[in-house]
Amino acid sequence: MLLLLKILSIIVPLLLSVAYFTLAERKIMGGIQRRKGPNVVGYEGLLQPLADGLKLFAKETILPSNADLVIFILAPLLTFLLSLMGWAVIPFGENLVVSDIKVGVLYLFAISSLSVYGIITSGWSSNSKYAFLGALRSTAQMVSYEVSISFIILCVAICAGSFQLVEIIRAQEEIWFLVPLFPIFILFFISSLAETNRHPFDLPEAEAELVSGYNVEYSAMGFALFFLGEYANILLMSSFCVILFLGGWLPPVSLLSFIPGSIWFGLKISFFVILFIWFRAILPRYRYDQLMSLGWKIFLPFSLGYLLLVISFLLSFNWIAW
């Protein structure tokens, strides 16, 4: 019973924040493009996400006649479930975590590598060219950027001396990893853009050639689940970034520690969310071969080399944490 309450106390605020994430996206992009954004439903458009959700809920579910129905129905469920599962290990504040496992970083990484399956099975099972091509592009992109993400995570784990998320945050009490590991922080942020299929790497969705990628054939709740899963994944990646580089719940200066840690955590996540939206508004889309060569020829060698640099630095100054 207590566990159920704990789970609900994470999922309900998460879904609310996903809803308001979409509103924030439309409002901020409106601001950047000098228009108002949604402002009709509710006060200044505050009820817009609820109206959107209701609209999707009331629509008819269309099942394509040649689709592989079981997989077609399971794929959005899988995406949505996996995007929720990652939140079980995220520490929101001091002692504010559902389960603090010893290999939390690896758990998050495993969840993000499993979430590829929702996309590739949805693309294959809808039996449509556009969905299939979108799914193949998206999967190839996610798998190739995961490689560089794993090396970046290893750098941070070696500096902190642990795979435990709470321990990684505690290791940043003196200084956030943002400062000594600044280059790979930028690398991690760009890789997380690619991992969540966001601009400028949103090739799977390329409206011009592929209509909208792997979820073309989905309507109503299937589409809504993909949408929720995608945005929850963006929030998860930003909180992962905050934990690895921006010191989680820690305040920037110890004078400000009277403000509770979860508020700092939320503020830092919002910073990344605004970055995600900002990049969507200002950057043009990459070409697919450019994306692949960026991932394999630049990010992978650089992060591998940086890992070696970090290890030899720590070894030569005898700073290894364990």
Partner 1 sequence: MSDISTFFLGCLILSSSFLLLRVKNPVHSVLLLVLVFVNSAVLLIGIGVEFLALMLIIIYVGAIAILFLFIVMMLDLKIVKKDEKFISLYSIEIILIKSFSSALLFLVFLDFHSMSFSALDTNTFWFFSEILTDLQCLGQMLYTYYFVYFLLGGILLLIGMVGAIVLTLSTKKNSKAQSVFRQLSRKMEKATFVAKFKN
Q: How far apart are CA 162 and CA 117, in angstroms?
A: 29
Q: How far apart are CA 277 and CA 274, in angstroms?
A: 5
For residue 162, give the DSSP letter.
-
Q: Is 292 in the site for partner 1 (CB under 8 A)?
A: no
Closest approach of partner 1 to the CB of residue 255, in Å: 36
Q: Is 127 in the site for partner 1 (CB under 8 A)?
A: no
Q: Which residues contact 106 (CB under 8 A, 6 or more apart)?
A: 163
Q: Is 185 in the site for partner 1 (CB under 8 A)?
A: no
Q: Is 116 in the site for partner 1 (CB under 8 A)?
A: yes
Cα-based torsion angle of the residue sequence 229, 232, 233, 239 in order, rounded to the nearest 10 degrees: -170
- Among positions 66-85, residues that touch partner 1 (CB under 8 A) are 71
Nearer to partner 1, 45 or 104 (CB): 104
Q: Is 124 in the site for partner 1 (CB under 8 A)?
A: yes
- Give just the sign of the alpha carbon dihedral 191, 193, 198, 201: negative
Q: How far apart are CA 95 and CA 60, in angstroms?
A: 44
Taking contact as CB under 8 A, which single stretch among the options 92-100, 142-150, 165-173, 244-252 is the one that binds partner 1?
142-150
Q: Is 103 in the site for partner 1 (CB under 8 A)?
A: yes
Q: Which two tokens stand for residue 137?
A: 């592009």
Nearer to partner 1, 94 or 167 (CB): 167
Taking contact as CB under 8 A, which single stretch among the options 5-13, 120-128, 222-230, 277-285 is the one that binds partner 1?
120-128
The rounded Cα 148 to chain-centroid distance in angstroms is 15
Nearest by Cα to 322 from 167, 194, 169, 173: 167
Nearer to partner 1, 104 or 222 (CB): 104
x/- map, 145-184, partner 1, by CB under 8 A: -x---x------------x---------------------
Nearest by Cα to 119 from 150, 143, 145, 151: 143
Closest approach of partner 1 to the CB of residue 243, in Å: 17
Closest approach of partner 1 to the CB of residue 166, in Å: 14
Nearer to partner 1, 23 or 108 (CB): 108
Q: Which residues contact 24 (CB under 8 A, 6 or more apart)?
A: 273, 274, 277
- Among positions 222-281, residues that touch partner 1 (CB under 8 A) are none
Q: How far apart are CA 322 and CA 320, in angstroms?
A: 6
Q: How far apart are CA 296 and CA 148, in angstroms?
A: 8
The rounded Cα 162 to chain-centroid distance in angstroms is 22
DSSP string, 113-137: HHTHHHHHHHHHHTT-HHHHHHHHH
Contact with partner 1 (CB under 8 A) among 39, 113, 212, 262: 113
Contact with partner 1 (CB under 8 A) among 7, 29, 101, 221: 101
Nearer to partner 1, 87 or 124 (CB): 124
Q: Is 102 in the site for partner 1 (CB under 8 A)?
A: yes
Query: Applying CB under 8 A, which residues contact partner 1?
Result: 71, 101-103, 106-107, 109-110, 113-114, 116-117, 120-121, 124, 132, 136, 139-140, 143, 146, 150, 163
